[in-house]
Structure 1
């Protein structure tokens, strides 16, 4: 009897190993940190659910979000480790560069969950440090890279709602800083100063970007494919600015300067809330146009799912939470029905996009297993 050819059996195994390694390398090279948008969306919908007394849903989403952050963060770190050059190149790309700001917002929204759910202010503080460092590094790195790049895109191809992630990232750090300020009483005033400063910077970013985005929307050709989910961040940016302002209003007793500017801060925060409210009907119309006239697939389908749809879920959850906190901080009771309605819209949107994610994940898994 001829003995088995161990070498012949080993070669296919080695070939499979090499093939698997190539697939992993290719997956990591293509990995887009925009999936931190899932963490952002899930985190704020969880917080909004807790505020509106949907406690079981809130805790379930909280647990899921911790796992999601570890997975997305792990894959992002793996990409940086395997492809540092590609990671740096991404920072100079319009889409992926500003998309990297989701890492900041995802980190700080998760930290806000640890405070809102009263789980651990120590972990929340650690996440604030990580988010703050990411903010300082990425904000300056991305804007510097986009400024000095050799070729620039025309405004109709270079800018969309994704750019508002600069606002969202900045205000997410402001929000978590404001939430933690009363916990760290020995440095409460410096923390509130930082929160107010970031709130102001985020507001400045919005006022600068909204001019460019509105100009692009109204004065350049616009087809259904371009009415993409990131335009919902138009609302998300001012909604999280409203949340940051509301938290500062709630902290007025902790710093005399906030008491002095309370009226101005309340009025300016209302300005941002109103701006976010104005955008919602227009974005709904654009969404209907995209999926009817444009015949674009819906996000719960494999063909229609895109991770950027979490950029639509996030503003709905943020609008719910920010309206609740702002109404509470200012005693504007007439706003109370708004979050009671929008929590249902936010949860429905999360489920619809989540179905698309699960379906797409099964497709990815089956392809990878071949």
Structure 2
């Protein structure tokens, strides 16, 4: 929820809707606080329970959610808070990622792509800070993480259960979202490394974004062919790629000078906002629904 709401807020800012960004960013901060408390409580159990929790890809939302919030805070010049979040993310990523990767098997769900999303979240926030502070020393570590995130994507892709495209409950969309955030990471890194933006990074950004668009179209087609209308918490993992693809397209359009990409990003923003609203209503209704005793 924090990741999805945060990236929609960032995309709305890119489109010029500052008031909506402020509202959704406040919601994101509240959701992040709930996520942090929930994450801490889950790790309070016994050693075996804690180890089992730490091996699940979903734990990496703690990294990705922090990254989205950090980028949102930088929109309003809260550099100190973003720096603190980056440090917290780096520690969590170093502790969690190796354990998650070691336990990845065959027939993986879409949530497994969080290994890439969390890694590229570090790149996006570090690159944004590198430009805004400025702190150029962050550029090279970010470049290494960018490459690692792409390697992890290929690793998960080879083990992904493609039946999820037809039957998935929502997190299968991270198949596209992981590439969209990789393209955004390229764009942010290119800006931090320039000016002018390095041509190889620009080319890589456009290539990754093209593949992300292809997955996006395939996933939309699959949703039309096999509608999945019931509420499921994993639908927040559908909102995130929708918002991320819009944000990546707008940012890539600015970096590359391709105006049509920026226009496409503005167009893709509205399905992301609409789906966010539908899923948010579903979440509220689900939370308010009476529970059977026991």
The TM-score with structure 1 as length reference comes to 0.75
**Contact (CA 8 Å) 1:41, 1:314: kept in 2 or not?**
yes
Distance 1:191 1:329 in 2: 19
Distance 1:249 1:91 in 2: 33
2:4 corresponds to which of 41, 47, 51: 41
Count of matched residue positions in the alignment of Structure 1 and Structure 2? 294
2:170 corresponds to which of 221, 229, 233: 229
Aligned to 2:158: 211
Structure 1 spans left out of the alignment, 5+ residues: 1-37, 148-152, 299-303
**Contact (CA 8 Å) 1:224, 1:290: kept in 2 or not?**
no
Per-residue CA deviation, residues 160-215 of structure 1 (Å, 9 max, x unaligned), is 22211111000000000001113444xx33201111111111111122322333xx
2:91 corresponds to which of 130, 133, 140: 133
1:181 corresponds to which of 127, 130, 135: 130
Taking the TM superposition and a 5 Å limit, the aligned residue runs for 1:1-370 are: 38-92=1-55, 97-118=56-77, 120-144=78-102, 146=103, 155=106, 158-185=107-134, 188-213=135-160, 216-217=161-162, 222=163, 226-253=167-194, 262-291=198-227, 296=228, 298=229, 304-363=230-289, 366-367=290-291
Change (3 A) 1:334 1:81: same
CA apart distance, 1:357: 0.5
Per-residue CA deviation, residues 36-89 of structure 1 (Å, 9 max, x unaligned), is xx1110000000001101222211101111111111211221222245532311
CA apart distance, 1:268: 1.1
Distance 1:289 1:54 in 2: 33
CA apart distance, 1:107: 0.9
Distance 1:190 1:54 in 2: 32
Change (3 A) 1:201 1:191: same
CA apart distance, 1:307: 1.7
The TM-score with structure 2 as length reference comes to 0.93
